[in-house]
Structure 1
Amino acid sequence: MNGNREIEVLIVEDDLRVAEIQKRFLEQIEGFQTVGIAASYVEAKTLIEIMQPDLLLLDVFFPDMNGLDLLKETKQQTKQLNVIMITATKEIHKVQEAIQIGVFDYIIKPVVFERFKQSLLRFRDFHRKLVQLEEESLHVTQKQVDKLLRKEIDMGSNEKSYLPKGIDPLTLDKVLEVLGKGVRGLTAEVVANEIGISRTTARRYLEHLVAEDKIAADLAYGTVGRPERVYIVTT
């Protein structure tokens, strides 16, 4: 294995428009290469066998299969193949099943780029650490194991360690503080004016919080002009 080579990704998604969006998202993240798109069970099994990708982006529901069943098969046959579920399925038992089988992450559609990017960057770090350990030794120390499992450890103890590039924790706290004052929700422009940042920057922070399920977004319809996107604290 070579830690410097691009991580090969197979997209398993029957909606080709969604698959193309994921492919374009991947093109914006350094270190990844899409090696194929599969829209059915037969295509997925064939491409997994031929391409032997490092990572699957996998949906749950297909006309001819259940993605979780494919996940079980691939995990039994290809232990080193990692999977990120990308699906509209929100049922808790489906999420639990995916976690028990061993997915790296579980992303609920519609996919927000910042959440997608965060997941892929975490996987890239994990993959590189694993490759480095395989090249150096067949045995690992407890400290090295802890680093491999850092995504689970830090998500609980130090969530801000995994903030995506361009998201500052202090500014993020200010955004949340301002949102907490807006009972009916605030627009990106109002948040920007309160903090003293640009509207574009405010929107980036707000959409990050939406992707993390920290806040919700809705449309407010006024009497004149287009509807505005408003953001509301949900927790």
Structure 2
Amino acid sequence: MISVLVVDDDYRVAGLHARYASGVDGFEVVGTAHCAREAVELEQRLRPDLVLLDQYLPDRLGTSVLPELRADVIMLTAAADAAQIRQALGRGAVGYLIKPFDAQQLTARLRSYARFRAQLGGDRTLDQEQVDRALRALHGTDRAARARRKRSSPTAELVAEAVRRADQPVTASELAARLGLSRPTAQRYLADLSADGAVRVELRYGVAGRPEHLYRWNSQAT
């Protein structure tokens, strides 16, 4: 059983992520924390295998906490700018999932992580092919590519065309209202377009300090 500590400043979001993780076979949530101080204390006391860590905590950024954690870390955060992602990965995060996401997306990351742990289990010497195989399992490259192909549909084309024709960057909520889609559905298609390089993601900060994602068509996309 892989033990998990969930860290998010929003109590509701932390509970949601804990439910998502608990629903994955082989994973057990052993605690939740809502600030950096609590995260470090619980991680030292509970010794979880994995920490699901938010970036925007009330007392410190998640990336500043990373060096103090012994467990593996997957970042679950709205921080989507390249500098923060580089910093998180450079400080040891083994995964990075941008909010908002659904249970299926987190489940896929956790299952990939479980395969990664299984392939690196035990005290043994590995050859390069075994290391490469473990890294492929961690990132789930082939599975992610198949998932994107499954969403190639008239709806995907409709979302792409709406972003292309917009005279200014749009949010997932605005696009969903314009096209008569649910926000999570619009978000998934926008995430696919971003992964393929067709759209660029920008951040807009509101009065509460939480960033809002804006999507702009990449004029250099083919």
Q: Is the 8 A contact 1:58 1:85 kept in 2?
A: yes
The aligned counterpart of 1:47 is: 42
User: TM-score, length-normalised on structure 2?
Assistant: 0.68
- CA offset at residue 112 of structure 1? 2.4
CA distance in 2, matches of 1:181, 1:38: 40
Larger-Rg structure: 1
| CA distance in 2 between partners of 1:89 and 1:205 (Å) | 20
Aligned pair partner of 2:124 in 138, 141, 159 = 138
Q: CA deviation at 1:40?
A: 2.2
Q: Does 1:11 align with 2:32?
A: no
Rounded to whole Å, the distance in 1 between the matches of 2:106 and 2:140 is 18
Q: Report sequence identity in percent.
A: 28
Taking only aligned residues, the RMSD between alpha carbons, in angstroms, comes to 3.4
Aligned residues: 185
* 2: CA distance, partners of 1:64 / 1:38: 12
- Stretches of structure 2 that go unaligned for 5 or more consecutive residues are 164-174, 200-214
Q: Which residue of 2 aligns with 1:148?
A: 134
Amino acid at match of 2:136: R
Aligned-residue offset at 1:96: 0.9
Where in structure 2 are the equivalents of 1:22-33 lying within 5 Å? 22-33=17-28
Provide, for residues 84-140 of structure 1, a one-character-per-residue CA deviation record: whole Å limited to 9, x for no partner.
111122222111101111211111222222221221111111112122xx1xx5211
- Cα deviation for residue 141 of structure 1 reads 1.4
Alpha-carbon distance between aligned partners in 2 of 1:39 and 1:115, rounded to the nearest angstrom: 22
What is the correspondence of 1:34-183 to structure 2 with a 5 Å cutoff? 34-74=29-69, 78=70, 81-131=71-121, 134=122, 137-151=123-137, 155=141, 160-162=142-144, 169=149, 171-173=150-152, 175=153, 179-180=156-157, 183=161
Provide the TM-score with structure 1 as the length reference: 0.65
Equivalence for 2:168: none
Displacement of 1:66 in angstroms is 1.8
